Amino acid sequence: MYPFRAGNGICWQPVAPMCHGAEGQDTGSLRGTGGLDLPGRGLTWSPGKKIYDYGRPHQSLVLMPNKDIVMTYVVRLGYVDDKDGFPQFGIEAVVSHDHGVNWDLDHRYLLHVWSGKRKGETYWWPSSQSTSSTLMPDGSILTAFGTGYRIQAGKDSPQAPRDVGLVKWRLNTKPVNSDRSVRDLIRFGSTQRV
């Protein structure tokens, strides 16, 4: 992760806070999503702000021409299982319209979601890996991420093959509804399974 300069000049550092006692067996799934702003250009740090409790680490930030911040991240925990009982993984994005102070969690972008097709101790092998996003000259966003959705590994070759996914996408330019259910859940301390 890297420091990022928001449109107001404040540096913002994405972090993956550890959540103790959450479900999951691999430590990457127990990492949440959060950030620190650095009002003194890195000489001072604000208290951290948790965006998700766990299951959504590995952020990548993009500054849009209108100064909105787009954050992409992986989803390792938090989706309901698919109809066959397999865990699901994905890549999501959220937008901040106020330099990273708040994030519109009620209007997330689901960039890619897949079924893990594994259960038991190795359920997480097909999970998502780090994201990297960039603003393209035409105003679209290109998001690259690692995925294990094709894993067919046995005992001798765990977690293979791994693939890179690419999604070229655009932010919605139309008005959105006023739903605040996710924000209200977070305000009351529950960011699980959203």
Non-local (6+) Cβ contacts of 83 within 8 A are none
- Which pLDDT score, from 0 to 100, does residue 185 have? 56
Q: What integer is the mean pLDDT of 185-193?
A: 44
**Domain 4-187, classified CATH 2.120.10.10, yes or no:** yes
DSSP the chain: ---EE-TTS-EEEEE--B-TT-S-SSGGGGB-EEEEEETTTTSS-PPPEEEESSS----EEEE-TTS-EEEEEEESS-SPP-TTS--EEEEEEEEESSTTS---GGG-EEEEEEE----GGGTTTT-EEEEEEEE-TTS-EEEEEEE-TT----TTSTT---EEEEEEE----S------HHHHHHHTT--S--
Q: Would you say 60 and 71 are in contact if contact means Cβ atoms under 8 Å apart?
A: yes
How far, in Å, CA of 28 to CA of 32, rounded? 9
Please calculate the CA angle 93-91-42 and round it to the nearest 5 degrees.
Answer: 55
Determine the residue type at 193.
Answer: R
Q: What integer is the mean pLDDT of 102-124?
A: 89
pLDDT digits (tens, 9 = 90+) for 143-183: 999 988 788 766 666 667 788 999 999 999 888 888 877 66
pLDDT digits (tens, 9 = 90+) for 85-111: 999 999 999 999 998 888 898 899 999
- Which pLDDT score, from 0 to 100, does residue 22 have? 47
Q: Determine if the pTM surpasses 0.75.
A: yes
